[in-house]
């Protein structure tokens, strides 16, 4: 049937089972659709090792790209053609999977998503201009509501747990999913602590006299609208929403589908608390909750509306988001942390730090994945002591080439850069601190790197200065790389990027600055300071 027929439906992918009603020969084109389908399906004959064909408007390259694009790209516009592929080929399988997503997305690239972000920004601008008192009241209202309405929360969480059981969900995921009264109390305490901290908005970072009567101030302001995508843990939502509210930002939240019931209730409770805490001055629209899969993709495309995406989840989630958005992403994809045991280290200190770094929470991003031992420690038995301690704690030590040669391990490691996330680690020997630093720069992920050494040996400072990573520690476990432990209050995440924020990120990482320039005693013009005969001169005097 001709595309002009309102009942006509685009078939993005043609395969043997497609029921296609081939239309009459077109009166306009030289070949009707029937001829094209015939030609195209000839080109993808069953079993042919080498053919795929697209029927699409010949003058619209973007449409063809759109058909083949793995993700809906608003710049290309909707797919306006049909893909033919060899039946049973990988191409067919991929195409089916991906086109379904593309078509779903096309329908859901809705004004709704943009509206949500625009509304959050509008409310955030109102909140940012209000005194800290309002934000403090909102935070305390959120904290109180989590306890007052714990029955609702735990009830909803129960539904998620039942679903998880029916879906035979992984036990670790269920653990993260489960809310308890104790977890809610911890959340309450954290949010109250945030409310008790000094205001970090409106802080003057620089003040300068530019000229007589012309004064500049650089002031902290909220970033705008943040999108946080978190997996499975429903307790992430109040924690992150509180950080965003404390810093005056608008927020779009996307929780894991496993926690859909818990998230919906918590979101409602936060919304109520915002309106109550602000006496109705700020609406619940400041925190939007994204529910469907399609909507996240829509939001990832809103690079003109959302200022920062913060993924909180596994490597795969972070990598997916980084690959599918032009919005700046704050987060880390890898946590390949090293502990370097210097020749000056004692066996006791080295064992304690290495075991703590590896076993305190093996799946955390700040857990040690690689142990670098100075070659002298192999001679003086420190290395053997450390490895024995690790093995006693249940850790399997895989050997790098030199460690295998020296007889430190039974199992060779396959990769020199790998995040095990469990009770395994790589062990390798280096001949000097220089070699350790080079190794870390080559195979590390720039997250957290630690040295164990004699407290007074200059090697410690050398390591601290020269290692290029977000966190560099001396005689301390890598596990300290955490917002709470480093005294930032709560934490939105840990950044291994070098732009904006690096390492554990608290409220300060959710702020940007604004330059305010005030003229007093008359106006100031650029032309007065330039040209052939300037009438005014810059003084550029620091005022703080």
- Contacting residue, 192, 200, 283, 513, with a second copy by CB under 8 A: 513
- Asked if 538 and 210 touch (Cβ cutoff 8 Å), the reply is yes
Closer residue to a second copy in complex, CB, 82/261: 82
Burial class for 46, CB neighbours closer than 10 Å (0-12, 13-18, 19+): exposed
* Strands of 19-91, DSSP E: 52-55, 82-85
- Contacting residue, 171, 455, 533, 535, with a second copy by CB under 8 A: 455
216 in contact with a second copy (CB under 8 A) = yes
Which residue stretch of 25-33, 149-157, 184-192, 417-425 sits at the interface with a second copy (rule: CB under 8 A)?
25-33
Which residue has 């989590």 as its token pair?
A: 146
Closer residue to a second copy in complex, CB, 261/448: 448
- Asked if 536 and 211 touch (Cβ cutoff 8 Å), the reply is yes
Closer residue to a second copy in complex, CB, 277/503: 503
Closer residue to a second copy in complex, CB, 263/445: 445
* Strands of 158-305, DSSP E: 204-211, 214-222, 225-230, 250-254, 287-290
Number of residues this chain uses to bind a second copy (CB under 8 A): 116
The continuous run of DSSP H or E covering 61 comes out as: helix 61-68
Closer residue to a second copy in complex, CB, 17/527: 527
Q: CA–CA separation, 524 vs 108, rounded Å?
A: 50
The continuous run of DSSP H or E covering 46 comes out as: none
Closest CA to 128 of 203, 205, 201, 226: 201
162 in contact with a second copy (CB under 8 A) = no
Q: CA–CA separation, 431 vs 340, rounded Å?
A: 11
Which residue stretch of 152-160, 268-276, 377-385, 520-528 sits at the interface with a second copy (rule: CB under 8 A)?
520-528
Q: CA–CA separation, 381 vs 406, rounded Å?
A: 12
Residues 364-393 touching a second copy, rule: CB under 8 A, are none
Closest approach of Cβ 23 to a second copy, in Å?
12
**218 pairs with which residues across the strands?**
206, 515
9 in contact with a second copy (CB under 8 A) = no
Closest approach of Cβ 112 to a second copy, in Å?
20
Closer residue to a second copy in complex, CB, 412/530: 530
224 in contact with a second copy (CB under 8 A) = yes
Residues 196-215 touching a second copy, rule: CB under 8 A, are 208, 210, 214
Q: What are the backbone angles phi and psi of residue 48, rounded to the nearest 5°?
A: -60, 130
- Contacting residue, 10, 24, 46, 410, with a second copy by CB under 8 A: 46
465 in contact with a second copy (CB under 8 A) = yes
- Contacting residue, 39, 100, 162, 204, with a second copy by CB under 8 A: 39
Q: CA–CA separation, 506 vs 493, rounded Å?
A: 8
**287 pairs with which residues across the strands?**
251
Tokens of 250: 């608008």
Residues 280-339 touching a second copy, rule: CB under 8 A, are 307-308, 322-323, 326, 328, 330
Q: CA–CA separation, 477 vs 449, rounded Å?
A: 9
59 in contact with a second copy (CB under 8 A) = yes
Q: Rg (Cα) of the chain, in Å, rounded?
A: 29
11 in contact with a second copy (CB under 8 A) = no
Closest approach of Cβ 37 to a second copy, in Å?
9
Closest approach of Cβ 479 to a second copy, in Å?
3
Contact track, a second copy, 422-441, x by CB under 8 A: -------------------x
96 in contact with a second copy (CB under 8 A) = no
Q: Which residues contact 93 (CB under 8 A, 6 or more apart)?
A: none
Closest approach of Cβ 348 to a second copy, in Å?
9
- Contacting residue, 25, 45, 391, 405, with a second copy by CB under 8 A: 45
- Pairing of β 424-430 and β 368-374: parallel
**206 pairs with which residues across the strands?**
218
Contact track, a second copy, 331-360, x by CB under 8 A: ------------------x--xx--x---x
477 in contact with a second copy (CB under 8 A) = yes
Convert 477-500 into a string of H (helix), E (strand) and C (coil): CHHHCCCCCCCCCCCCEEECCCCC
Closer residue to a second copy in complex, CB, 64/387: 64
89 in contact with a second copy (CB under 8 A) = yes
Closest approach of Cβ 345 to a second copy, in Å?
10
107 in contact with a second copy (CB under 8 A) = no
Closest approach of Cβ 473 to a second copy, in Å?
4
Under DSSP, is residue 150 helix (H, G, I), strand (E, B) or coil?
Answer: helix
- Contacting residue, 15, 23, 65, 203, with a second copy by CB under 8 A: 65
Contact track, a second copy, 481-510, x by CB under 8 A: x---xxx---------xxxx-xxx------
What Cα–Cα distance (Å) separates residue 253 from each residue in 61, 280, 323?
35, 22, 19
- Contacting residue, 42, 412, 458, 534, with a second copy by CB under 8 A: 42
- Contacting residue, 526, 532, 533, 544, with a second copy by CB under 8 A: 526
Which residue stretch of 16-24, 155-163, 182-190, 480-488 sits at the interface with a second copy (rule: CB under 8 A)?
480-488
User: Could you please report the per-residue DSSP string of 351-387?
Assistant: HHHHHHHHHSSTTSTTSEEEEEEEHHHHHSSHHHHHH
Under DSSP, is residue 300 helix (H, G, I), strand (E, B) or coil?
Answer: helix
- Contacting residue, 12, 13, 14, 56, with a second copy by CB under 8 A: 56
Q: CA–CA separation, 189 vs 477, rounded Å?
A: 26
- Contacting residue, 8, 10, 94, 411, with a second copy by CB under 8 A: 94
- Asked if 335 and 495 touch (Cβ cutoff 8 Å), the reply is no
Q: Which residues of 297-318 are buried (b: 16+ CB within 10 A; e: fewer)?
A: bbbbbbeebbbbbbbbbeeebb
Closest approach of Cβ 205 to a second copy, in Å?
10
């Amino acid at each position: 049937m001709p595309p002009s027929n309102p009942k006509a439906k685009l078939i993005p992918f043609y395969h043997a089972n497609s029921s296609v009603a081939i239309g009459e020969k077109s009166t306009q084109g030289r070949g009707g659709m029937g001829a094209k389908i015939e030609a195209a399906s000839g080109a993808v004959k069953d079993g042919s090792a080498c053919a795929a064909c697209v029927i699409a408007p010949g003058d619209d390259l973007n449409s063809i790209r759109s058909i083949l694009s793995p993700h809906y790209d608003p710049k290309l516009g909707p797919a306006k053609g049909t893909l033919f592929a060899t039946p049973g080929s990988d191409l067919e399988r991929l195409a089916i999977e991906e086109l379904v997503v593309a078509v779903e997305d096309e329908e859901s690239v809705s004004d709704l998503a943009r509206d949500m972000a625009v509304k959050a920004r509008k409310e955030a601008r109102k909140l940012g201009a209000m005194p800290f008192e309002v934000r403090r009241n909102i935070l305390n209202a959120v904290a109180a509501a989590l306890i007052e309405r714990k029955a609702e929360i735990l009830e909803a969480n129960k539904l998620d747990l039942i679903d998880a059981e029916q879906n035979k969900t992984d036990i670790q995921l269920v653990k993260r999913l489960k809310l308890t009264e104790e977890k809610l109390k911890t959340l309450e305490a954290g949010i109250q602590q945030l409310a008790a901290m000094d205001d970090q908005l409106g802080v003057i970072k620089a003040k300068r006299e530019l000229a007589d009567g012309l004064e500049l101030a650089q002031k902290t302001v909220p970033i705008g609208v943040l999108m946080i995508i978190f997996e499975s843990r429903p307790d992430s939502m109040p924690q992150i929403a509180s950080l965003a509210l404390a810093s005056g930002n608008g927020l779009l939240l996307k929780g894991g589908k496993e926690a859909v019931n818990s998230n919906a209730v918590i979101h409602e409770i936060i919304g109520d608390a915002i309106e109550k805490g602000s006496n109705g001055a700020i609406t619940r629209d400041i925190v939007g909750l994204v529910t469907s899969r399609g909507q996240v993709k829509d939001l990832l495309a809103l690079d003109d509306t959302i200022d920062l995406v913060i993924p909180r989840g596994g490597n795969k989630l972070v990598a997916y988001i980084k690959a599918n958005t032009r919005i700046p992403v704050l987060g880390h994809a890898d946590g390949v942390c090293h502990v370097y045991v210097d020749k000056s280290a004692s066996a006791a200190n080295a064992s304690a730090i290495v075991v703590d770094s590896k076993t305190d929470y093996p799946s955390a991003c700040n857990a040690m994945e690689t142990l670098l031992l100075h070659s002298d420690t192999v001679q003086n038995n420190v290395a053997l002591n450390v490895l024995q301690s690790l093995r006693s704690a249940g850790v399997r030590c895989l050997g790098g080439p030199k460690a295998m040669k020296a007889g430190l391990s039974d199992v060779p490691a396959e990769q020199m850069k790998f995040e095990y996330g469990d009770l395994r680690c790589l062990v390798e020997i280096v001949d000097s601190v220089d070699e350790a630093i080079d190794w870390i720069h080559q195979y590390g992920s720039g997250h957290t790197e630690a040295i164990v050494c004699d407290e007074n040996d200059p090697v410690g400072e050398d390591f601290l200065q020269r290692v290029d990573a977000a966190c560099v520690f001396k005689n301390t476990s890598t596990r300290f790389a955490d917002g709470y432990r480093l005294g930032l209050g709560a934490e939105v995440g840990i950044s291994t990027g070098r732009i904006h924020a690096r390492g554990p990120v608290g409220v300060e990482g959710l702020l940007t600055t604004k330059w305010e320039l005030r003229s007093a005693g008359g106006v100031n013009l650029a032309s007065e300071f330039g040209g052939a005969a300037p009438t005014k001169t810059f003084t550029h005097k620091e005022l703080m």
